[in-house]
Amino acid sequence: MKIEDLINRGPGFEAEAEALPWSDAEFSARMLKHHLAQEHDWASRRTDIIERQVAWLAGRLPAGGRVLDLACGPGLYTHLLARRGFKSLGVDFSPAAVAHARSQAAAEGLAAEYVEADIRRYRPDGLFDCVLFVFGEFNEFSPGDARLILEKARGSLTPGGFLLLEEHTFEAVRESGQAPASWWPCPEREGILSARPHLCLQENAWDPEAGQAALSYFVIAPGTAEIRFFRSVQTGYPSARLKALFAEIGFQPPRRLKEKEWPVGRPFEGRMAAWLGLAAPLP
């Protein structure tokens, strides 16, 4: 895309967008830096909040229980769970994140395994006492893919096992879609969408019928004629819709966890919700 295209946009413009390249080696290496950062928590939570969440999880799991962490990133949860004696399997399609997680597990000799795969297609061996799907990754998938992932999660649970799903609330997704356009500078090696210094322009759109927010990012680097255009679409789920989805897939009515049970962290209070879904008995 050229800057003239950005200025003179017309019908069909949306078709030119690229999806965020989560599995690209260079992109994932840049993202890993932000996953591990403790100065902010927009890519992953800070360690102190994760430690509190893991402590709560440990109190619900049987000794030596198995945990499946979907979209595990660099293993921030699985690593701490393995330290407590649980057997953890993390799945993510970011090569840099998985390589980091494997290295950390090997260095400490922990019972944590990692698979580089797309969670929409991967099916693990055996059953698990808990499936984690946290930090709003659920909202990033289309409704069909999100349902498929939850169906696979249900099929991976032991009798009495549970899914812990953390979502961006419907209200938070709507707010993102209705937010005004913005821009910010990214010095060299500090941005995610490009390793070069650049400006990032963001525009947002809200589709009330689909309950989806479309977030568009325009990356403008000095000295280049082309602008890269990325789009991320988030789906929001009203509580009634989410509860119905749990029931259709084979969970007992889910319970929204309280802040003292599962702290979401200050930036996400009121914007992120955690749901506990117990596997319903099979017919």
How far CA 84 is from CA of 5, 54, 110, 114, 243, in Å, comes to 54, 9, 10, 17, 31
Q: Closest Cα to residue 271, out of 185, 175, 198?
A: 175
| Mean pLDDT over each residue of the chain, to the nearest integer | 93
pLDDT score recorded for residue 266: 86
pLDDT score recorded for residue 154: 97
pLDDT score recorded for residue 84: 97
pLDDT score recorded for residue 1: 79
All structural domains of the chain: 3-21+173-235 (no CATH), 37-169+237-278 (3.40.50.150)
Distance between CA atoms of residues 139 and 155, nearest Å: 21
pLDDT score recorded for residue 11: 64
131 sits in which H/E element: strand 128-133
The first and second tokens of residue 38, run together, are 């403790």
Mean pLDDT by 10 residues, the chain (283 residues): 79 75 92 90 90 97 97 97 97 97 97 97 96 97 98 96 98 98 87 90 96 95 86 97 97 96 93 97 72
> Which positions ≥6 away from 239 have C-beta within 8 Å?
170, 256
